[in-house]
Each structure stands twice: as C-alpha cells, then as structure tokens.
C-alpha cells in the first residue's frame, strides 16, 4: 500500500496550477484554496481584498513512489514565473505570490535546494522571489473554483492564460502525465 504525501504550492492563480498538477501521474488530488491566511475560512472576495495575507494555492496529494516532491517542484518552477513579486501576468496582488509551503524539514531542504538550483540554472534572467515558508493552514476554495479549467475551457482566461501552460506541460513533461492528459 502506498503512502501519500502532501505538497502546498502557490504559483499565481490556482485555476492554472490546479489544471497543471491534476494532469500528473501519481497525483491523486489537487484542491484549490487559500494558504497562509491570517483569517479563518477566508472567502475569495476577502482574499482578493489583500487583508487576509492568504495566497491562492493548491494542496496536492501525491504518491511519492510515482512522482517525487523534487519533480513536483521542477514542474512548479516551469509553469509559472517565480521572478515576479506578488504577480503572475495580469493577476496582481499578494494572493498571487509564488510560494512553497513546506510540511516538514525534508520538504524544506528539498525546496531550498530546488530554488537555489533553478536560480543558478539560467532559466530565468531575474532573481527567484519565491517564498519558502512553513505550512500553517490551508482552506479549500469555494466549489466553483474546483476543476475550473476543465469545466470552463471556452472562457477567455482559460484559453489565453491556462491553455499555454497546459501546452508547455504536454511538450516538456509528457512522460509525467496521466494517460488521458497526454492525448
């Protein structure tokens, strides 16, 4: 029997990150929500106000015998811009910050090493601004955010913001995708 692990990642809009991580082999669930909130059970409107300190994030449950935390972070670095502070494209605000919320010391060490490696790799011209912080809390987002991309592919945001991330995933990480996602 496999033991599942949890990763909590913030890479801008959770519609984007959920759509990407849902397609990976070894990922059993991806829940969009709000991490590191100073307010219990924040609403989307409260998070957007900037008064909760929450980040739009995803909580990923995965099987480390199929996909490693390292691999999740590798994909994380490549499907968002970790060099922009409190922003991803046109989405601006602290809720769109890039962050890795580690659940234990091993995740912390892997995240720090991964951040250092991506910074030295030359992949990005600007410094990596991704926050690496201890996990404190996570509140699932409202139901209409769940599977947003898969349920709303004809929406302009999905077509122009999320589709390119999915195409990049298909091109660069095809062997890491669930069978149905690789088509």
Tell me what pLDDT residue 179 has.
Answer: 75
Catalytic residue numbers, as ranges: 13
Tell me what pLDDT residue 88 has.
Answer: 86
| DSSP 8-state assignment for residue 122 | T
Nearest CA-CA partner of 78 in 117, 36, 31, 33: 117
Please tell me the distance from the alpha carbon of residue 123 to that of residue 82, in angstroms, as a whole number. Answer: 11
Please tell me the distance from the alpha carbon of residue 3 to that of residue 11, in angstroms, as a whole number. Answer: 26
Report CA-CA distances (Å) from 127 to 74, 87, 172, 176: 17, 14, 23, 27
Task: Dump pLDDT digits (tens) for 37-75.
Answer: 999 999 999 999 989 999 999 999 999 999 999 999 999
End-to-end CA distance of the chain: 29
- Residues in the chain with pLDDT values less than 70: 1-2, 180-183
Crossing angle (nearest 10°) for helices 14-21 and 163-172: 30
Tell me what pLDDT residue 89 has.
Answer: 83
pTM of the predicted model as reported, rounded to 2 decimal places: 0.93
Tell me what pLDDT residue 183 has.
Answer: 46
Contact call for residues 132 and 100 (beta carbons, < 8 A): yes
Tell me what pLDDT residue 99 has.
Answer: 98
Please tell me the distance from the alpha carbon of residue 66 to that of residue 74, in angstroms, as a whole number. Answer: 15
Tell me what pLDDT residue 64 has.
Answer: 97
Phi/psi-derived region of residue 26, left when phi > 0, alpha when psi is between -120 and 50, beta in every other case: left
């Amino acid at each position: 029997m496999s033991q599942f692990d949890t990763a909590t990642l913030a890479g801008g809009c959770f519609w984007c990150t959920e759509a990407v991580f849902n397609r990976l082999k070894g990922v059993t669930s991806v829940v969009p929500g709000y991490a590191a909130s100073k307010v219990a059970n924040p609403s989307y409107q409260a998070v957007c106000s900037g008064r909760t300190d929450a980040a739009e994030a995803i909580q990923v449950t995965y099987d480390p015998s199929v996909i490693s935390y390292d691999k999740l972070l590798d994909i994380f670095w490549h499907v968002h811009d970790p060099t922009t502070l409190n922003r991803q494209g046109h989405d601006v605000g602290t809720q769109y910050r890039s962050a890795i919320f580690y659940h234990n010391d091993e995740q912390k060490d892997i995240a720090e090493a991964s951040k250092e490696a991506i910074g030295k790799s030359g992949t990005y011209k600007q410094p990596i601004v991704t926050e690496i912080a201890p996990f404190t809390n996570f509140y699932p987002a409202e139901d209409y955010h769940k599977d947003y991309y898969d349920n709303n592919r004809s929406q302009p945001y999905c077509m122009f913001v999320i589709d390119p991330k999915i195409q990049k995933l298909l091109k660069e990480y095809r062997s890491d995708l669930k069978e149905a996602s690789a088509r």
